[in-house]
Each structure stands twice: as structure tokens, then as C-alpha cells.
Amino acid sequence: MSTQTRTTTDDGNTVNGIHLDTLQATVNAIASDPMLGQCRFRASNTWLGGNHNRSTITGFYGAKQEIAHQQTFELHADEPPILAGHDEGANPVEHLLNALAACVTTSMVAHAAVHGIHIETLKSELEGDIDLNGFLGLDSSVPKGFTDIRVRFTVRTDAGNEERLKQLAAFSPVLNTLTKGTQVMITVNGR
């Protein structure tokens, strides 16, 4: 496991490795035409047998157009042997923790850049509680999902910025989705 971190070298237009002109151009465009902010993000998934499946992510809809990623992303999920899998990928709830870590990190860093808060290094440790009695159907009174997730950031920045960064975490879309919930509609059709 690599422990590499990068200390960003910023100039006037780049803070925390974020090009402020690029970010500001997007913000200004959406501010002048709010419909540009409406996005539809997407993933396709293929079952590969057992607990192993793979998601493919190629692009999304935003700024009133289809936008292709510069590469195709493939993400594998599996379960460990104790849950009848073969460990060919992180399991789905670990993928959820990754999504949360990535989103809160990005939200902090980008909003900090806009506010002129320089970050040297930023790491986090996440831990979430799930009681498998729920998922396995052994006790219908037990929640099936995460009941509690703890995210512990360690940051190298000017003293006093820690509390401001914690407040900026509140902008994270994944954090908001997890704490406020979202509607999910599932359909299953034969082929």
C-alpha cells in the first residue's frame, strides 16, 4: 500500500491544485443559467457470477449536453470468502464508504480553494456499522443499512482552518444523500 501524498504547489490562480478560473467559469455559467447545473450521473452494471459484478462509467449529462469522460472507468465489487465471495473487489458497502470519503474530500478541497484556504495534506479514516442480522433476514427489527458512519480527517493546514473545513464538508453531495436520504426507484424486466 502506497502512503504517497502530494503537497500541492499553488500559484495565484491555483489553490489546492484546483484551477480557480476553470471552477469559476463553471460557477458563473450556472449562476447565469441555473438549468446548466442540472446533471444526470450514470453507471451500468453487469453481474459476473456469484457475488462478483462490474460497473462501467462512461459519461454523464450536464450543462445541457452529454459529456463523455476522457476514459472509461470499471469498478469491480465482490464479497470476502466469509460472505461466500472471492474478494475480487471491495464489497458494495466498502464502495459506499469510498464514495463518501472521495466526496467529502473533494468538497472540502474545492470550497477551501474558493475561500483561499490552503491545504497541504488531507487524509481520512472511515468506519461504518452494519449488523448483518438485517441483511440476512434473521431479525426484521434490525436495520439493513449503515446505522452510523464515522469520518476522521487529518489535515495539514494553517492552525484554525480545521473548523472551517469541517463546515465546508456540508456541501458534499454524497454526505447529503446519505444523511438526508434519496428516492430510489427499481424496475426489473425480463429479456
Rounded to a whole number of angstroms, the minimum distance from the CB of residue 11 to its own copies is: 13
Residues 119-178 that bind its own copies (CB under 8 A): 119, 121-139, 143-157, 159, 162-163, 165-166, 169-178
Distance CA 106, CA 108 (A): 5
Distance CA 71, CA 57 (A): 9
Rounded to a whole number of angstroms, the minimum distance from the CB of residue 140 to its own copies is: 11
Rounded to a whole number of angstroms, the minimum distance from the CB of residue 35 to its own copies is: 9
Torsional sign, CA 29, 30, 31, 35: positive
- Give 108's contacts (C-beta < 8 A, 6+ positions apart): 119, 122, 153, 165, 168, 169, 172
Size of the site for its own copies (CB under 8 A): 144
Burial of 173 (C-beta count, 10 Å sphere; 0-12/13-18/19+): middle
Q: Which is nearer to its own copies, 12 or 186 (CB)?
A: 186
Rounded to a whole number of angstroms, the minimum distance from the CB of residue 40 to its own copies is: 5
Q: Which is nearer to its own copies, 12 or 185 (CB)?
A: 185
Distance CA 57, CA 72 (A): 6
Which three cell numbers mark 78? 465482490
118 binds its own copies (CB under 8 A): no
Residues 19-78 that bind its own copies (CB under 8 A): 19, 22-23, 26-27, 30-31, 34, 36-53, 55-58, 60, 62-63, 67, 69-75, 77
Rounded to a whole number of angstroms, the minimum distance from the CB of residue 121 to its own copies is: 7
Q: Which is nearer to its own copies, 116 or 181 (CB)?
A: 181
Cβ count near 97 (within 10 Å): 17
Residues 78-107 that bind its own copies (CB under 8 A): 79-84, 86-87, 89-107
Rounded to a whole number of angstroms, the minimum distance from the CB of residue 87 to its own copies is: 4
Q: Are 161 and 120 contacting, i.e. CB atoms less than 8 angstroms apart?
A: no
